[in-house]
Structure 1
Amino acid sequence: MVEDSVPGRLLAAATKLFAQKGFDRTSVQEIVAAAGVTKGAMYHYFDSKDDLLSEVYGRVLRLQTEQLEKVAVTEAPIADRLRRAAVDVVVSTIGNLDDMTIYLQSMHQLNAETSKSVRAERRRYHERFRGLIEEGQRDGVFRADKPADIVVDFYFGAVHHLGAWYRTTGRLSARQVGEHYADLLLASLRP
C-alpha cells in the first residue's frame, strides 16, 4: 500500500497515533485529521478503527507469510530453510517494530470477529513455520523429543518480546539479532 494513497496515509497516521497515545486513547477524528482526509474517506477504506489496527498488523503478517512461503518451498536442506525463516521473522519484526508493538499491546481491544480473523491468519503462519520443524524432526535432522508446537511457541515468545528491548541505536543490527536467534533455535533442535 503506497503511503501517499488515502489508505496509506490513514495507516501511517493511525500507526503514529497508536504508538504515541495507545489504540484505546486515539479517536477516529484524530486519525483522519492527521491523515488529512475526511471520516467518509476513512470509512470508504476501513469499516472501523479496529480494521485500521488489524491492517497495521496484517500488512506485516502478509509480508512475513510471503517470505516464509518463498523459503519453505525451496529445495534447500531443512536446517537452511528453517534458519532463513527464523532470521527473516526477526528482521521483518524489527523492521516493523512499531506496528508489531502496537498490535501486541492492543490486540485484546479488537472486536471478537476481527480478533478471530487475525488470530487465524497468525495461526496459519505459525503452522507453516511449525511444518518446517516437523519436517526436520521426521527426517532426523532435528530432535523429536520436544513437540514442534512448543518449539514454535518458545521461539515466537522471544520474537514478540523484541519490542521490549531492541533499539535501532543499539550495537546489534536486526540481521545480527536474527542470526543469533536462529542459532539458538537450531542449537535447541540438534539431535
Structure 2
Amino acid sequence: MKDTNVADDVMRAAVELFAANGYANTSVQQVVEAAGVTKGAMYHYFQSKDDLLFGIYDRMLSLQKEHLDAIIERGGAVGDVVRAVCVDVIETSIDFLPEGTVFFRSMHMLTAPRQSEVTRRRRDYNDTFAALIEQGQAEGLYRSDIPRPVLIANFFADVHYLSHWYSPEGPEGKTLLAEQLTDLYLAGIDARAANGGAR
C-alpha cells in the first residue's frame, strides 16, 4: 500500500520552496531534503519536477471539478447552481492559495504535453461552467448583450487574481469573501443590468 503521507510531504515542501525561491531555482534535491524523504520515494509518486508542478495544480483542479459536478448533480434553479459554483471555486482557490500562486507563476515552464493537459482540464471545467451561464441566459437571468466568453472570463480573472491581494490572516474569512465576490459578479451579469434595471 502506498504511503500517501510521503506524497503530501513532497508536495508541501515543493510548494514552499517554489514560492520562496521560484520553480526554476529549486532542485529536486532541495525538495526531497525539505520533505525529509529520499529521491526514490519522491520518484515513486512524481516522475520529475515537471510532474510535481503539474501535480500541485492537478490536486486543486480535481477537487474543484468534483465539487462542480456534485453541485450540478444536486440540481435546483440555475441561478442557485451558478451561485453555489462561484462560491465554491473562490473558497477552494483560497484553500489552495499557495498552490495556485506557485502554479500560475510557473505554469509556462511546464513541458508542452503537461501544458496541453492543463489546457484540456481547464477547458473541461470552463465548458461546464459556460453551459450553466448559457442556460441562465436562455431563461433570461443573465445578460446576453455581452459575449458569453467575456462574462466567464470576468469571473475567473477575479479568481486568478486572488493571490495578489487576499490574505487568510485578513479581517474577512473565505466564505464571506466568496459570497461578496459572487454577489458582485452576479450583479454585473444580471439581465437587468443590460437595460438599466428593468426587466
TM-score if structure 1 supplies the norm length?
Answer: 0.94
RMSD across aligned C-alpha pairs, in angstroms?
Answer: 1.5
State the percentage of identical aligned residues: 41
Report the structure number with the largest CA radius of gyration. Answer: 2
Residue aligned with 2:74, SS: coil
2:16 matched residue in structure 1: 16
2:48 matched residue in structure 1: 48
Gaps of 5+ in 1: none
Residue aligned with 2:167, SS: coil
- State the alpha-carbon separation in 2 of the partners of residues 175 and 3 from structure 1: 33
Which runs of structure 2 are paired with 1:171-190 in the superposition (5 Å)?
171-190=171-190
Q: Which amino acid aligns with 2:49?
A: K
- State the alpha-carbon separation in 1 of the partners of residues 189 and 104 from structure 2: 27
Equivalenced residues, count: 190
Residue aligned with 1:31, SS: helix
Cα deviations by residue, 1:67-93 (Å, 9 ceiling, x for unpaired):
111112232111110001001111110
* Higher deviation after alignment, 33-42 or 164-173: 33-42
2:7 matched residue in structure 1: 7
- RCO (CA 8 Å, sep 6+): is it higher in 1 or 2? 1
- State the alpha-carbon separation in 2 of the partners of residues 121 and 171 from structure 1: 33
Gaps of 5+ in 2: 192-199
- State the alpha-carbon separation in 1 of the partners of residues 145 and 70 from structure 2: 28
Residue aligned with 1:73, SS: helix
User: Which runs of at least 4 in structure 1 moved beyond 6 Å after TM superposition?
Assistant: none
2:195 matched residue in structure 1: none
TM-score if structure 2 supplies the norm length?
Answer: 0.91
